[in-house]
Amino acid sequence: EDEDEDGDEDEDSAMVLTADSHGGVASDNDDDILPHLFPNVNSYVSTAHDDHKKVYRYCIAFGGFCATSSATIGGRKITHIFVPTLDVNDWDQDTKDTISSMPFASVVTFQWLWQSIKLKKRLPTTNFSL
């Protein structure tokens, strides 16, 4: 990738990142562009969860918004709250507080994200939520 003197990528040399079995490769092929599986998904994942960085990155890469703290929500209405499992005992206090303060958000497991990406379509949350 070409960088200008500030160390920033030149606009002309930007490439599209696409998913493959290795987590992503650069490509300019339209067939390889990541599908927007999660438009209108404004999600939250607590940094207390081991996979929070991966959930955050993949949600955004596939067209969603993801916050990791109440400070980064920025006035958005959170539609989905990611949890590692549906067992409340596995949730940290921040996640529990967020769920309490956003009762209309769907509480979904990380598996909803992973399975939707794997199947290349946004799945119903029914099998992945409370």
pLDDT digits (tens, 9 = 90+) for 55-104: 999 999 999 999 987 666 777 889 999 999 999 998 999 899 989 988 89
**Rg (alpha carbons) of the chain, rounded to whole number:** 16
Q: Which residues pair with 107 in a beta bridge?
A: 81
pTM comes to 0.72
CA–CA separation, 41 and 31 (whole Å): 23
Taking residues 27-49, report their average pLDDT.
Answer: 81
